[in-house]
Amino acid sequence: LGPVAPAAAADPVTFTNTENPILGDGSYYSADPAPLVVPAGAPGNSTGADQLYIYTGHDEAGPTRNDFIMNEWGAFVTSDVDAGEWTHHPSLMRPEQVFTWATPGRAYAGQVVRGVDGRYYWYVPVNEAASPASDKFGIGVAVSDSPTGPWTDHAGAPIISQRVPTPNTIHNIDPTILIDDGRVYIYWGSFGNLRMLELAQDMKTPIGSVRTVTGLTGFFEAAWIFERNGTYYLAYAGNNAGPTSPCTPANYHACIAYGTATSPAGPWTYRGTILPPVSSTTSHPGIVEFDGEWWLAYHTADAVGGNHFRRSVAIDRLEWDDTQSPPRIKPVVT
């Protein structure tokens, strides 16, 4: 099932599809899902119903290209996942539109959260034009009064990069944010390196120093932090084939694994896998409670014409085993 209404490239498109991927006809490839609930009456939601936004990157690689082409981020929006009635915003933000210090492209995985002031903050990895580092990724933060924008640069510079706030040598991508009792934490990283930092309530100023997160078996990238009933959960893409892989089967496709902690700062305890390796080499979790149920958004290469660089976002229910302490996530059967 594809778009039902012709529209200009950046206009929202509505379609109905109850299958995975959410948009599977190959007309638009999406990756790195980042769900956000926008309650009825919240700024930007006058529909009268709670809305689930799934922000994504846009995979624009041709069929034979062996690398990402990602120039923009968009979002799928619904008020009822089972009904499958989606509005797709194909292009909500491009790096160079918002961040004067960024180069176009490499619009990798980000996350939108509502700050303590109720505004929408979009944390994204982008390349910093002036960085002398060979890895120019930095994490920028954009702000808006609406979940669909318009977005403006909130910090005027990367809040994290190989230059700031403290020099580091990791791949500064895949930010995920936790707001907990008014305190703000950002986690990020890739290639086995996961870092965290507390931010002030202005959503951009570092508090304290960068910490290394450990204890998550086979952590590769794509961290997703959330809290449920006082337990902190950190889901992530597990390592590819290798001695520490949590994935079954262990191959060159990542799985989604998770750990738990009793505080945002850890220590973290590995708790198992949530999703086996998918058809794309990368995997990327986005977990949210919406409409009284829990959901796992991820991506696969399962759309028409899909491949490792033409991924498409999918969504499944997530169920809990509350007989264990702390409660465990039941593995998703796709």
Which residues contact ligand FUB (rule: CB under 6 A)? Answer: 31-32, 57, 68, 108-109, 173-174, 221-222, 282, 284
CB of 176 to ligand FUB, least distance (A): 10
Under a CB-based contact definition with an 8 Å cutoff, are residues 278 and 300 in contact? yes
Give whichever of 45 and 300 is closer to ligand FUB, judged by the CB atom.
300
Q: Closest residue to ligand FUB, Cβ-based? A: 108
Question: CB within 8 A of 133, min separation 6: which ones?
Answer: 161, 162, 163
Q: Which is nearer to ligand FUB, 79 or 99 (by Cβ)? A: 99
Smallest distance from ligand FUB to CB 68, Å: 5
Q: Which residues contact 305 (CB under 8 A, 6 or more apart)?
A: 26, 63
CB 82 → ligand FUB: shortest distance, Å? 26
Considering the complex, what minimum distance in angstroms separates the CB of residue 41 from ligand FUB?
A: 32
Q: For ligand FUB, which is the closer residue by CB, 79 or 282?
A: 282
- By C-beta, is 154 or 171 nearer to ligand FUB? 171
Nearer to ligand FUB, 55 or 68 (CB): 68
Long-range Cβ contacts of 257-260 (<8 Å, 24+ apart): 257/216, 257/217, 257/218, 257/219, 258/216, 258/233, 258/234, 258/285, 258/329, 259/215, 259/216, 259/217, 259/233, 259/234, 260/231, 260/232, 260/233, 260/234, 260/326
Least separation in angstroms between residue 235's CB and ligand FUB is 12
